[in-house]
Homo-oligomer: A and B are copies of this chain.
């Protein structure tokens, strides 16, 4: 949930306009759990980013970001994956638009398991296999692959912020691993 890039112009928002919208409207997001699969399609690893948050703290995160005006959900998924994983990640975005769940991040903690102090964000969540080389970009410091078992380790889950540990567990449950 670190989509900060905004620009003025056709369909784009200035920082001030975006801040105003964030106080008035739910903002549409996508969340991605990047995975490695074996040749049967079974998930063997999930990728978590290491990021520097706005507060300067280092934390783990899923690939996540805003859907822009006049942008397809599918294009938003690819844009955020390229932003965080680099241009050679070769993501295989699922062919159907049905997300495995919808995560509702509320500015007020406790309404749902998901929390975003900046805004009310509603996020379509997808599992996306990546087949290429991942190279963290921009504010992502590192991408670490965890086996499904390692990803469930309470120490790993505790490093995820804003309830994304819940989303990761939901993804693992959906995957049946």
Contact = CB atoms under 8 A, between A and B. Distances in A.
A86 interface: no
Interface string A123-157: 01001010000000000000000000000000000
A106 B73 CA distance: 12
A13 interface: yes
Contact-residue bracket for chain A: 35 or more
Copies in the complex: 4
Contact of A69 (B12, B17, B120, B175): B120
Contact of A43 (B78, B92, B95, B108): B95
A23 interface: yes
Contact of A73 (B67, B73, B94, B104): B104
Max count, chain B CB within 10 A of own CB: residue among A12, A27, A70, A172: A70
Contacts of A78: 40
A35 interface: yes
Nearest to A33: B95
Contacts of A58: none
A21 interface: yes
Contacts of A102: 73, 97-99, 124, 176
A25 B17 CA distance: 11
Contacts of A169: 173
B12 A24 contact: yes
Given A43-B95, A94-B94, A99-B99, 14 more contacts: A13-B25, A21-B21, A25-B25, A26-B69, A26-B71, A41-B92, A41-B95, A42-B95, A95-B175, A96-B127, A97-B102, A98-B98, A98-B102, A174-B174
